Structure 1
Amino acid sequence: MGNFIRKTFSVSPLKITILVIFLSLALYIMKIPFFHFMELKALDLRFIARGERAPGVETVIAAIDEKSVTELGRWPWTRTKIAKLIDTLKEYGARSIGFDVVFAEPDENASLRELEELSKKIDDMGLKDPELLRYLDEQKEKANTDLILARAIERAGNVTMGYFFYTSEKEAEHLSLDDIKRSEEYISESKYGIVRIKGRQEEYPMIEAYAAAPNIRPLSDAAEISGFFNAFPDIDGTNRWFPLAIKLGDNFYPPLSVAVLEQYLDWPMLSLKLEEYGVEGIKIGDIEIPTDESGRILINFLGPIDTFPIYSITDIINNRLEPALFKDKIVIIGATATGIYDLRVTPFSTVYPGIGIHATVIDNILHQNFIRRPGWTALIDVFVIILLGLLMGIIISRVRAVSGLLIGLILVTAWVLVNRFIFSSYNLWLNIVYPLFTILTVYVGITIYKYITEEREKKKIRGAFQYYLTASVINEMLKDPSKLKLGGDKKDLSVLFSDIRGFTTVSEKLTPEELVHLLNEYLTAMTDVVFKNEGLLDKYMGDAIMAVFGAPLDQPDHPKRACMTAMGMMNELRKLQKKWTDEGRPVLDIGIGVNSGDMVVGNMGSEMRFDYTVMGDSVNLGSRLEGMNKEYGTNIVISEFTYESVKDTLFCRELDSVRVKGKSLSVKIYELLGERKDSEKWSDFVRVFDEGLVKYKQCQWDDAIACFQNATEIRSGDPPSELYIKRCRELKDNPPEIGWDGVYTMTKK
């Protein structure tokens, strides 16, 4: 029973994966605002990655631009100019005209007021001259710019007027009940004529208005139809959705874009279908428009505002353009001049005139070029979350963290590319954030789990060896108990670091008992070599060894002792490797780093628990040198500080000049090959390698490659030579800056 409970509640990579998948699905269903925000931003990037698309030829923009303001005067213009614009567009053959502006107040006209006052005075004086009265009526008619504009609208017979809704109680608080009722009367002819309602309910999840701000009565009566031009940005201020219906009272009203299209398409049936959950669909004739439950369309932006043809109104009024540009076209009239139009943010632009949104929606509907997110896409989202989560969980549980990270990046890249392809080719919006969140969280969760379990394993091994010290250290401490006090001294010492390569991979192949036996055998042999050279076994760090030479006993030849220890460890390892191979056990390989310099040595810790150890930059460099063996494919790397002390007795080759991460100064590093008395077997090889290194630092890439290739022939498959051949080829294709010092900067510790 106890085993069953432990197994049930124990942690494993599979359980972590399943937990993360359920977490992602729960967050997906809950529609967390942060993830929704990130998905919207990802949608914008998909638009940008897709690029601009050419609109149809049906829609053009007549702009109140800087040029028009300069020539025709500051906006708003007198309505006689607007009437002239309508007459000209009608003459040019425009098929449908829409206004992205509202004329909510009568035109201010001083001449008309003066004529009204004159007419009143004449009436008060009792003058009844028919000619005079007729003349006054004619002049008042000419001065009534609202009437002039209304008649132009009537003559055209194809004008759609724009208006806006008050969508909050605060916006409409200045209106009386009569004002609200009157405004609704002005737009009543523009409501959706056919509304199919299945299962009535009190409230629908769509935008509701408190009142309208329509055009003045003469203009509203003169226009064939009208439509609202309200826009509603998302939480980040970007416009991505556009409402195709707003509810006012018991009626539903279309936007300017739909009203213009209704006229352009010669008055097809316009219908709105409502279900209990909200809007199911909107139809204009045979065109079915996909919307969400709020009646919003996802705008398929085609590019910046100049994606559509834009013509200056002053050029239209003054007949500077070819009529063919407007024949049978939808003409949307609105402002683009700075300071006049309302700025909108879209995926393509942070400064986008609102008129462009109407033009885009018209083009989307007319060509049925919709970005779709039907209900069944949620099933795809869920499937992808589960699939990618399981793939990541299976992979990361079987490989090392770095490899898992690389594979995770591949999965992320693959889904991003697939998602982009589906969006660009099929106009389908699939979720991208939750699958990526799942991949990342599975990776982090399992990596932390593996790290904890591996560290627990290493801690068990470390506990069996951490109190082992050489007899000389114990004797030295007994001679001078004061050395047990906390604190340290600065001394010139040598430090050796060794580490097993691929320890995690080896540990996965063995049972715990086999692993402990293998590691004990290895550490015993290595520790014996340290003690043989009278070194201080500072500590075991899991499978790593840190040894110090020159403390606590003074050893003037500590650099040589450290190097002899390194070579002795390699000799012992070769014996063990042969033994393990014969026994069919995994073979270990190690890297060793040796550095000499000033270090702080002594007891570090607290009164209750302390360790006799060393610290300082020289110690850190020794650790870095051990890690550099991975870069160069070597086993023993020593610093120039150690090399200067051993060059007369030990044989080395210069490997590189490196700048370790976090440091500005460079240091030369060497590979320790053997004792100088045995140098004959290395001399030719090292000479050729050194020549290549000189050519490399002189940026003579071809000559350097030739030298390193010769070196690999002398010493078959020499990893440092192969590394330099690769570097030379890369630097040949991408030369370093002038004045390059030949120093290689390490990007990893």
Structure 2
Amino acid sequence: MNAQKSKKISYFYLFIGIGVSLLMALLAYFNVTFYEVAELKTYDQRFLLRTAIFGPIQMDPNLATVDVDNATLTHEGRWQDWTRDKHTKIIRALHEFGAAMLGFDVFFVEPSRKSVAQEQLQELEAVDRASVLKLIRDYDAEMAVATRETGNVYLGQFLEELEEGDRVSPLEPARQEALAALEGRGFITPYPEAGRSTIRKIREIHPPLKPLVEAARGVGFAQAFPDLDGTRRRFPLVLLYENRLMPSLALIMLCDYLRVPLASVQVVEGKHVRLPGAHLPGGRVKDIFIPIDAKGQMLVNWAGEFLQTFLHYPHVTISLLAQDRKALDALRAVKQINIERPEAMQDPARLLDLARQRGIDDAGLVTGYQASLQAASLMEQAVLADPQVRNAHVFAQLFGLPPDQVPADLGPDSPAEAILKFAPSDDYVGQIRDLLKTLDDVRVNNLVAQRMEKNGLATPEQIAAGLPDLSVDRVRRSLETLRYNLRGGQVQPADRPLFFPPLQPITFGNRGKQQQVTAEDMKGKVLFYGLTATATHDLNPTPYEPAYPLVGIYPNVFNTVLTENFLRKAPGWLNDLVILGLGLLIGLTIPRFKALDGAIWMLILLIVYVVGAFLLFTHGGLWIDVVGPVSTLVLGYLSITLYNYVQKEKEKDFVQGAFGHFLDPKVVENLVEHPELVEQLGGEERVMTAFFSDIASFSTMSENLTPTGLVTLLNEYLTEMCDIIGHHGGTIDKFEGDMIIAFYGAPIPYEDHAERAVLACVDMQAKLVELRRGWEERGEFVELRKKWADEGRGEFLRARMGVNTGRMVVGNMGSRTRVDYTIMGDAVNLASRLEGAGKQYNVVTMITHDTYERAQGAIEARQMDALRVVGKEEPVKVYEILGRRGQVDPARAEAAALFARGYEMYTQQYWDEAIAYFEAALKAYPNDGPSQIFVKRCQAFKLNPPPTNWDAVHTLESK
């Protein structure tokens, strides 16, 4: 290709790549909406694909939510109608259960209404102002007391963002008091860099009520800001209110959990939030650096869908667990009174008084357990005395019946008809069934406890193996009850008799998934309390779900920090560098490919980049842009391909117009397919193979054929010969009468051009045999063929061929108005000389040593002579092609072998010996032209010996 034009086109391709890169970089830099939204969607897909391929990420087992879900609202009533005592009950219950932290994603900004509960009115003795005022409940005060006493409650506050052009709103007195309380408790910190800060700024704050602020363990804002498309992906750790730094609920809870004073937290905008000396689970102490953006937001490493990640405890279930815990506390109190003051068990009033002293004021529970305890104690004594005892035996004792009147299999699961025999009416069936259940529980619990105390690690299957009348499931339920209620796994006197309230099964989520959960499961949990019910305001899109309860963002934030599985957004300069690099790569590489190959290369680059971006996300926590780089690859490829298409169409038109009339159609076709080769024409030197052929005695044929006959003969001959040349990849240079000039290796370069040329010669000679046979069978050219035979001219239409391989010039040669695609050079002239020399040796195909060396693997040939052609001093070894390798006639092969021996004698001037070999060759193959020539030459040298410096080279006297 013309060097200047090549460089110009290369630069243009680079300009295309760079231009596309700059466009993408500008879209990214200016945060163009469609670009940023598209990038955010690819970011979401990385989460989904990570979960699909690698499963869920590591999750801390102590993180959970308390959900105000659909079931809770059905049980407790509409959210708008809730009084704060419902929250207070949960605060106290979870504290009793041993929860480590409880964070409220609920705001307590306004005072609640004071009211009187229905049950309190029933206890009102006098309807007067003083009596009624005594009954009015202050739910805010009750919640503040519970918050202070439990010491593990964190409250959320709502902050309004300062928009451009807004001013910070003045606070009303109540909020000023709350703000002062926040500052006094150290829940907000001064921030001297506020004036030049890029952190999100706040125009107005809505803190919890002052009493709640003073009672809470911590207060932080409870909100996250959506991205352009409304999806929550980031979480702000801090916000800025005037010159104060406001921590998020998650940050203030993290500081306490990791034992990091809030005042020691360091914020480096656009880089990280540093938690110095954090005490991580497992005992490690280290500084934690949470990556943040310029606005103070961290990327949340979402674990998955809400219900598929972390633990979720419905509010209503916590309430039920609290009731169960209340029942358990009542039972333990009654059991303890039974041990310490057994006489009180016969005095209900005294029993209730002692229970109240122990904090149990539910008379129904106390009296109910008083009745059950007598039956349970009797059953326990019986089973300890005889492990084979049955419920029916003790039941008969309780009812004063003979044992044979009670069915041996009577139990809590017996049909109502069997129980009715011992009940005064249908109304007592349930009570008797409860009694039977208590007896059965005491019996089974004692049998299981005996084995559990011997082997604390025994499985239900192992225990059931020694109790053939009990199923594995029944043993499992008993074992779970005992392990929950027995301290240290051992039966203490205060635990007897061994009956306990049943464990409450918990249903969480909205998919019907059942899980046995006890109050013990809450121990050590970090809990986040919020709305999850459908049609509430706290459902928003996240990468995993279009309606994700946002209370779930807190365990995700906590988990991201505790596992240190942080995500980072690659800096903009790195994104620009990647885009520019890919643009340059496309500009440099795509022009080297055809359209399809270029598409495959572009697709490979695209896949490699996308997979790399995904792996960087999953294994390195790095978010690098995908939209910009991928768009650069695709648009760069399409732009270059479109440009190439336009250019190729122009080049094809040029080739068709410039060469279509005087080049071989195959050459034109190749040039149309590869128009870039046209630019390489105009005189390029390369090693190629030249071919010349001529019809022997063509002038005699011309004289003896009519013009029409001559044209018919010549057309048929040239057509067949040219087809063979084209089949082997040769290029027809020109016709000069009957002469064909062709070459191999241009414009389409072939490494095996010499082999192609000699095989074409073999096929052309074979085709001439077919032509002669066809003319004879069809009766064509009869007179001319008869003349040929009568005059002893040999084969009719004999074509001589000369082939040489060497350096030659090929290209467009001619004038401005006439161009020939041709070859020139000494190597070309030598091929022409060989074609003419074939007449002297009576052979049809002569090739040079250079051609033979390159093609000897495909043909069999013999060296005929060493020639010095006109105008050249350097001798040339010449060969005759005998045929394809392995396909030569045996007689001819024998003659060739004898000729070779004779030629060796000839070069050594052993004339008689040489003659003998040549004559033997003629005997084997009488028409061997070279042998005939060399017999005569040897006889001449015998009469006139060559000079002493004779080099066995024969000099051609004519061209």
Counterpart residue number, 1:281? 273
Counterpart residue number, 1:409? 603
Aligned partner (choices 652, 673, 676) of residue 508 of structure 1: 676
Aligned partner (choices 712, 731, 740) of residue 580 of structure 1: 731
* Shift in alpha-carbon separation, 1:112–1:65, aligned structure 2, 3 A: closer
Aligned partner (choices 52, 65, 68) of residue 64 of structure 1: 68
Contact 2:154 2:217 in 1 (8 A): yes
Contact 1:226 1:259 in 2 (8 A): yes
* Shift in alpha-carbon separation, 1:210–1:12, aligned structure 2, 3 A: closer
Counterpart residue number, 1:318? 320
Contact 1:63 1:335 in 2 (8 A): yes
Instruction: State the SS of the aligned residue for 1:162.
Output: strand
Per-residue CA deviation, residues 106-152 of structure 1 (Å, 9 max, x unaligned), is 2223439999xx9xx989xxxxxxxxx6x666434xx2222211111
Q: Report the Cα distance in structure 1 between the residues aligned to 2:160 and 2:233, rounded to whole angstroms.
A: 21
Aligned partner (choices 643, 646, 653) of residue 449 of structure 1: 643
Which segment drifts farther, 299-308 or 574-583?
574-583
Aligned partner (choices 144, 149, 156) of residue 150 of structure 2: 156
Counterpart residue number, 2:135? 139
Contact 2:189 2:246 in 1 (8 A): no
TM-score, structure 1 length as denominator?
0.58
TM-superposed deviation, 1:78: 2.1
User: Given the alignment of the two structures, is residue 243 of structure 1 paired with residue 233 of structure 2, yes or no?
Assistant: no
Q: Report the Cα distance in structure 2 between the residues aligned to 1:7 and 1:409, rounded to whole angstroms.
A: 27
* Shift in alpha-carbon separation, 1:384–1:154, aligned structure 2, 3 A: same
Contact 1:83 1:148 in 2 (8 A): yes
Contact 1:273 1:279 in 2 (8 A): no
Q: Report the Cα distance in structure 2 between the residues aligned to 1:203 and 1:177, rounded to whole angstroms.
A: 28
Contact 1:20 1:442 in 2 (8 A): yes
Partner amino acid, structure 1, of 2:320: N
| Equivalent residues in 2 for 1:458-607, closer than 5 Å | 458-463=652-657, 503=671, 506-511=674-679, 513=681, 574-578=724-728, 579-580=730-731, 583-586=743-746
Aligned partner (choices 421, 425, 449) of residue 619 of structure 2: 425
Contact 1:192 1:252 in 2 (8 A): no
TM-superposed deviation, 1:25: 4.1
Contact 2:169 2:203 in 1 (8 A): no
Per-residue CA deviation, residues 588-616 of structure 1 (Å, 9 max, x unaligned), is 8xxxxxxxxxxxxxxxxxxxxxxxxxxxx
TM-superposed deviation, 1:20: 3.5
TM-score, structure 2 length as denominator?
0.46
Partner amino acid, structure 1, of 2:180: E
Per-residue CA deviation, residues 50-96 of structure 1 (Å, 9 max, x unaligned), is 11324211211111111111122222422222111111100000011
Instruction: State the SS of the aligned residue for 1:397.
Output: helix
Aligned partner (choices 322, 326, 331) of residue 527 of structure 2: 331
Partner amino acid, structure 2, of 1:408: M
TM-superposed deviation, 1:164: 0.7
Counterpart residue number, 2:40? 40
Partner amino acid, structure 1, of 2:73: V
Aligned partner (choices 393, 397, 404) of residue 591 of structure 2: 397
TM-superposed deviation, 1:382: 4.2
Contact 1:191 1:251 in 2 (8 A): no
Counterpart residue number, 2:79? 75
Q: Report the Cα distance in structure 2 between the residues aligned to 1:10 and 1:279, rounded to whole angstroms.
A: 41
Counterpart residue number, 2:93? 88
CA RMSD of aligned residues (A): 4.0
Counterpart residue number, 2:160? 166
Contact 1:192 1:271 in 2 (8 A): no
Partner amino acid, structure 1, of 2:679: T
Aligned partner (choices 251, 257, 278) of residue 250 of structure 2: 257
Partner amino acid, structure 1, of 2:155: M
Q: Report the Cα distance in structure 2 between the residues aligned to 1:192 and 1:342, rounded to whole angstroms.
A: 25
Partner amino acid, structure 2, of 1:458: K
Partner amino acid, structure 1, of 2:677: K
Contact 1:186 1:220 in 2 (8 A): yes
Q: For structure 1, which runs of at least 5 residues remain unmatched after alignment?
A: 124-132, 469-496, 516-567, 589-749
Contact 2:231 2:541 in 1 (8 A): yes
Contact 1:262 1:270 in 2 (8 A): no
Q: For structure 2, which runs of at least 5 residues remain unmatched after alignment?
A: 279-286, 322-503, 505-516, 684-717, 733-741, 749-959
* Shift in alpha-carbon separation, 1:502–1:24, aligned structure 2, 3 A: farther
Per-residue CA deviation, residues 606-635 of structure 1 (Å, 9 max, x unaligned), is xxxxxxxxxxxxxxxxxxxxxxxxxxxxxx
Contact 1:17 1:393 in 2 (8 A): yes
TM-superposed deviation, 1:310: 0.6
Q: Report the Cα distance in structure 2 between the residues aligned to 1:179 and 1:504, rounded to whole angstroms.
A: 86
* Shift in alpha-carbon separation, 1:103–1:15, aligned structure 2, 3 A: closer
| Equivalent residues in 2 for 1:296-375, closer than 5 Å | 296-306=297-307, 307-319=309-321, 320=504, 321-373=517-569, 375=571
Contact 1:196 1:271 in 2 (8 A): no
Partner amino acid, structure 1, of 2:545: S
Aligned partner (choices 220, 232, 252) of residue 225 of structure 2: 232
Q: Report the Cα distance in structure 2 between the residues aligned to 1:499 and 1:86, rounded to whole angstroms.
A: 90
TM-superposed deviation, 1:250: 1.6
Which segment drifts farther, 77-86 or 173-182?
173-182
Q: Report the Cα distance in structure 2 between the residues aligned to 1:503 and 1:108, rounded to whole angstroms.
A: 92
Partner amino acid, structure 1, of 2:312: I
Counterpart residue number, 1:631? none
Structure index of larger Rg: 2
TM-superposed deviation, 1:7: 7.5
TM-superposed deviation, 1:99: 0.6
TM-superposed deviation, 1:190: 6.1
Contact 1:158 1:263 in 2 (8 A): no
Q: Report the Cα distance in structure 2 between the residues aligned to 1:570 and 1:87, rounded to whole angstroms.
A: 105
Q: Report the Cα distance in structure 2 between the residues aligned to 1:296 and 1:204, rounded to whole angstroms.
A: 13
Counterpart residue number, 2:911? none
Partner amino acid, structure 2, of 1:62: V
Instruction: State the SS of the aligned residue for 2:289.
Output: strand
* Shift in alpha-carbon separation, 1:262–1:502, aligned structure 2, 3 A: farther
User: Given the alignment of the two structures, is residue 55 of structure 1 paired with residue 51 of structure 2, yes or no?
Assistant: no
Q: Report the Cα distance in structure 1 between the residues aligned to 2:191 and 2:201, rounded to whole angstroms.
A: 18
TM-superposed deviation, 1:425: 0.9
* Shift in alpha-carbon separation, 1:426–1:454, aligned structure 2, 3 A: same
Q: Report the Cα distance in structure 1 between the residues aligned to 2:720 and 2:552, rounded to whole angstroms.
A: 74
Q: Report the Cα distance in structure 1 between the residues aligned to 2:726 and 2:214, rounded to whole angstroms.
A: 100
Partner amino acid, structure 1, of 2:142: I
Number of equivalenced pairs: 488
Per-residue CA deviation, residues 182-210 of structure 1 (Å, 9 max, x unaligned), is 4533533566666675xx46242121111
Counterpart residue number, 1:614? none
Instruction: State the SS of the aligned residue for 2:144.
Output: helix
Contact 2:115 2:138 in 1 (8 A): no
Contact 2:178 2:209 in 1 (8 A): no
TM-superposed deviation, 1:402: 1.4
* Shift in alpha-carbon separation, 1:267–1:416, aligned structure 2, 3 A: closer
TM-superposed deviation, 1:272: 4.7
* Shift in alpha-carbon separation, 1:208–1:504, aligned structure 2, 3 A: farther
TM-superposed deviation, 1:400: 0.8
Per-residue CA deviation, residues 140-188 of structure 1 (Å, 9 max, x unaligned), is 4xx2222211111111111001121122579999986546534533533
TM-superposed deviation, 1:224: 1.8
